[in-house]
Structures are given as C-alpha cells and as structure tokens.
C-alpha cells in the first residue's frame, strides 16, 4: 500500500533520489565544505553587485557573478540585468542551483545515480524559478499594468481551465482546429487490412510509374502514425508517394484494459511482421523496404534480426529515424527508466492494465521542462495568452496508451538490460543478433533530440551488420523528422561510419537542404526498377475498406472497437 502511495506522489522517485544524494554527500564533508565556501564567496559578490545596482554605481558592462546559460530564454528581459530587485532574485536563484549541483558532485554517486539526481534537482529548480511567479516576473508585471489587469484575469481563467481539464498541467496547444483526415493525415489512401492491433493503409500512387519494391512506414506504438503524414507539404509519406514509391503505413490501435496481457512478441508478430506479410501478398514482391520511427525502429530492427535467425527475411532495406537499438546511453530519459521507477510503473499498470498516454507524454515534456512546461506556465497563466494552434504540437498531444505487459517487457529488456545490443534478446526462444542483419540501413538522427540523443542513435549504424549510412539533421525529435524542403533545413553526411559519433561528425559535410533529398536518392537506388503504378489499391484478398487515415487513428480512450 505504501509503495502505491509513494508511486502516485513521486512516480520517478525524484524526492527519494535527492534524499539519498544528501545522505551520500554527508559522507564527504570536505567536498561539501568546498562547495559551501565557493558559494559563500560568490554570494558576497552577488550582494556587492546588487547593492551597486541599487546605488546606481554598477559598471553596465561588468558580467554578473553567476552568468545564466546563453540559450536560457527566461532572462531576456533587461530588468533581470538592470533592476536590483530582479537582478538579486536571478543571481540568488542561479547561485543556489550551482551550489546544489556542486553538492551532487560531492556525493560521489555512480553514473546512473548522478544523472537522476542532477535531473531531479534541475526539474525542481526549473519549477521554483522566479520567472514562474507573477510577483517575480517582470514581463508578467509589466503586462498586467499595460492591460489594466486583464492579463491576470485571463491567466487565472487559463489556470482554472487547465486544473479542470488538463490535470493541472499548462496546455501546450489549442488542438481544437486539428483533426486527422480533415487537415492532418491527408495523403489519399485506403485501409486494406485491419486486425485487432493494426490497420494497414495503402496510399494512392501519384506518379504513372512506381518503384517495384514497396515501402512500409512503421510508427512507434506510443504515438499516432501521422507524424509521418502530418499535413500537405509536411508529410514524409506524401514525399515518398510523389517520388514514385508504393507506400503503406501501419496505424496502431489505442490500447485499453482488454490488452493488458498483450506481449512484446504480440506487437512484433501482429505489428510489423503481419504488415509485411500483407504488403508482400498485395504487391507480389518478395521484399519490402521500411521506414521506422523511434520505437517503431527498435521493433523493426528486432524483426529483421528475427528474420535472419529463422531464414525468412521480408525486409529489403530499413530506414531508422531517431531510433535506439543500443540503450547503453539513453540520455536524460534514463532518469525515468531505472529499476525503482520501472517497478513503480508496473504496480500502476497492474491496476488499470495500461499506462495512460498522458503519463508518458508528460515524462517527455519533463526532459525539457523549461521549453515544454514552464514556458506555458508563463505564457498561459502569467501573461494570459492562449496556447498556440500548431500542427506538430497537436499531433504530440494525440498520444496513445501502452499495454501493461508489453510496456513492462520493453522497458526491462531494452532500457534496463539492453538485451538486443548484448546479443541476449530472444523472440519465442530464438536468439536475435543485430550483427546478423545484413540489409542496407539508413540511420537518421536529429542533433537537438532530447528523447533519443543523436550520439546514442548513431550506435544503430555501428551495431547492425549491413552497409549503413548515417545522416544527422537539425532540430529535435519531432521536427527532425518533419523536415520538408525550406530555407532553414540542413543536414550533415559522412560516407564513412566511424567507431564513435564525434569522429563521424568531425569528418561530416554540412548541406543546406533537407535530409529528405539525400534519403530520396538513397532509397531510390534500392527500390528496384520502375513499373506501371497499380490500377487499384489492395487486392482480392485484401479489398479496400475505409479511406485513410482509417478508424484507429481517430479512436479516443473509452471508444469501443466497433465504434
């Protein structure tokens, strides 16, 4: 009972991590004393600088005793530098955070403990920042004066709405104007297969001739598939169709309690392997090229190794977008995937049969809390602004649940045990070895990805046994994929796969266009000859049913399968 209570209050065990860190730091009095003395000396400089500003004798060009990070957008208002009240607040806050970081260093934690303690402290300080309160935020105060208090009234209304409808979290997006099939997921196609787990969509050709090898898009099961078909001119699927590929996409069902015992193997066999079977039967082609996003790539890589093990390989080539196959360095996400946190999630999922979509989404938000949480505290609650209407954020808000047994298996076998990279993963008792994958692979990562660090995603190019190409894109986890041609698009290439990612980057060449162009050439060379486009979608055994984007993508929690 006590574990359930603690799990609900502190699901990631952050408070317990900080208590443990404090106890460990107490065993190193020399290190703690050094940190305190250092902080004390800086505090004296902060006090002197603040008094000088109050007396109007400060050197305007003098750097502050504690400089904020250059990319930290919270301190852009000139008042944080000129006004002694706000300057003192900012400097005291930054100094306190630096002191806590130094004490964590003095605790002599192992790498995993240090990562979690650092993240927990960082999140706590992000939440306690003076920018998050009306009376200590100069932008909020000046806006309140300029609007005669209207911004405070509107912000209070936004806050109360989020308490009632968003579990007290600030809304990131106004998604009321977005709907799959209406202005998102618009590429024409039809559902040609539906099982209890997936729908398979085939897209209408838009060229007279197509490559003979079909292309299957495999999304992560924790998000809706249409990140790959976001909107016209922002759709990788549309791009592929217009470049002459016969395209299919998997759309996963949103799980409910009835799927609590669905396994990882079920997702493998009934997800990509089942879709590959249907694509081969419809097209009559022995091989299928695949495009795989995030967790969908992890699943496909395991499917490819399984195919090699049983000598039945349906995959021709694989494109992996922001995918982990070696989980030895999961980045900040490792703070949420240690043994105590996973055990707590398992207890919670045992009660309801699944992990609620919002919980995983908020975990991802917490990794970049200032950008994805507290920015909206300021904008929506303090400044009284409405959340933006933005298609990428609307998709991000449309996430799915995860079945209890499957999600537990994934976390333990991948994040905790890293079985696939250690040649210890088995499917139905059959060992699956990543080095036995011999197909060509295109591995894409985004340089600012906060969920799958690019240096970790790079290991897919060295772990799998085929002839692999690694490409690095700009932007983050989502925008790195939705990266259509435009003036801001750029990417890096290097034909040589170095042992370490930094070595690869040193020899990489930057290109002033989207990686979509590079990929189009790469996949076109591996898609076979051109043939006449099929006159209709599906086949006699797999007749078209609903128009794309199908039924599953529109299912909300509580909807029945028959709805």
Catalytic annotation, residues: 294
Would you give the end-to-end CA distance of the chain in angstroms?
37
Q: What are phi and psi of 47, to 5 degrees?
A: -60, -45
DSSP assignment letter at 212: S
Alpha helices by DSSP H, listed for 128-195, are: 138-146, 150-165
DSSP assignments along 54-83, one per residue: HTT---TTSPPSSPPPTT-GGG-STHHHH-
Dihedral angle sign, alpha carbons of residues 182, 187, 190, 194: negative
SS3 string, 419-440, reads CCCCCCCEECCEECCHHHCCCC
- CB atoms inside a 10 Å sphere around CB 19: 11
495 near 461, Cβ under 8 Å?
no
Say how many residues make up the chain.
563
Q: C-alpha distances in angstroms, 313 versus 194, 320, 529?
A: 23, 17, 21
As to burial, measured by CB atoms within 10 angstroms (0-12 exposed, 13-18 middle, 19+ buried), residue 560 is exposed
Query: What angle, 0 to 180 degrees and rounded to 10, lies between the N-to-C axes of helices 150-165 and 138-146?
Result: 120
Q: In this structure, what is the dihedral angle of CA atoms 96, 101, 106, 107, given to the nearest 10 degrees?
A: 110
The residue behind tokens 């162009």 is 517
């Amino acid at each position: 009972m006590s574990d359930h209570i603690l799990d609900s209050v502190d699901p990631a065990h952050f408070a317990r991590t900080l208590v443990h860190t404090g106890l460990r730091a107490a065993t190193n009095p020399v290190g703690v004393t050094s940190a305190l003395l250092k902080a004390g000396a800086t505090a004296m400089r902060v006090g002197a600088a603040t008094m000088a500003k109050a007396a109007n004798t400060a050197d305007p060009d003098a750097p502050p005793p504690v400089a904020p990070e250059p990319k930290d957008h919270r301190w852009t208002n000139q008042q944080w530098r000129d006004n002694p009240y706000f300057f003192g607040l900012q400097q005291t806050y930054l100094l306190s955070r630096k002191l806590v970081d130094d004490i964590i260093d003095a605790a002599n934690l192992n790498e995993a403990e240090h990562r979690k303690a650092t993240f927990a402290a960082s999140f706590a300080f992000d939440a306690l920042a003076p920018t998050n309160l009306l009376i200590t935020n100069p932008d909020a105060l000046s806006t309140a004066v300029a609007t005669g208090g209207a911004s405070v009234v509107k912000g209070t209304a936004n806050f109360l709405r989020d308490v009632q409808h968003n579990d007290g979290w600030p809304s990131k997006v106004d998604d009321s104007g977005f709907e799959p099939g209406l202005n998102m997921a618009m590429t024409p196609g039809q559902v040609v297969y539906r099982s209890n787990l997936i729908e398979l969509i085939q897209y209408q050709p838009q060229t007279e001739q197509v490559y003979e090898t079909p292309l299957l898009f495999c999304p992560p099961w924790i998000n809706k598939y249409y990140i790959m078909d976001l909107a016209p001119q922002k759709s990788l699927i549309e791009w592929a169709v217009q470049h002459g590929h016969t395209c299919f996409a998997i759309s996963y069902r949103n799980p409910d309690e009835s799927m609590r015992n669905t396994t990882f193997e079920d997702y493998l066999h009934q997800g990509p392997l089942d879709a590959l079977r249907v694509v081969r039967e419809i097209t009559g082609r022995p091989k299928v090229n695949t495009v795989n996003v995030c967790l969908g790539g992890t699943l496909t890589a395991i499917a490819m190794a399984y195919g090699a093990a049983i000598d039945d390989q349906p995959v021709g080539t694989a494109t992996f977008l922001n995918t982990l196959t070696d989980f030895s360095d999961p980045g900040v996400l490792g703070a949420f995937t240690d043994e105590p946190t996973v055990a707590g999630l398992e207890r919670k999922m045992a009660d309801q049969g699944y992990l609620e979509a919002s919980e995983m989404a908020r975990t991802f938000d917490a990794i970049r809390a200032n950008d994805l949480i507290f920015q909206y505290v300021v904008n929506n609650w303090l400044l009284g602004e409405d959340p933006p209407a933005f298609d990428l954020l609307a998709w991000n808000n449309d996430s799915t649940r995860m079945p209890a047994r499957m999600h537990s298996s994934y976390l333990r076998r991948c994040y905790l045990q890293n079985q696939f990279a250690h040649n210890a993963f088995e499917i139905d008792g059959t060992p699956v070895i990543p080095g036995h994958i011999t197909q060509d692979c295109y591995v894409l990562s985004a340089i600012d990805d906060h969920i799958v660090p690019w240096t970790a995603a790079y290991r897919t190019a060295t772990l799998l046994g085929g002839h692999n190409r690694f490409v690095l894109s700009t932007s983050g986890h989502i925008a790195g994929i939705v990266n259509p041609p435009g003036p801001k698009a750029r990417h890096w290439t290097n034909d040589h796969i170095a042992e370490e990612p930094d070595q690869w980057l040193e020899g990489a060449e930057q290109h002033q266009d989207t990686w979509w162009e590079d990929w189009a050439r790469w996949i076109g060379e591996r898609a076979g000859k051109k043939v006449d486009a099929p006159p209709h979608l599906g086949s006699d055994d797999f007749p078209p049913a609903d128009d794309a984007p199908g039924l599953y993508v529109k299912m909300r929690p509580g909807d029945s399968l028959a709805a």
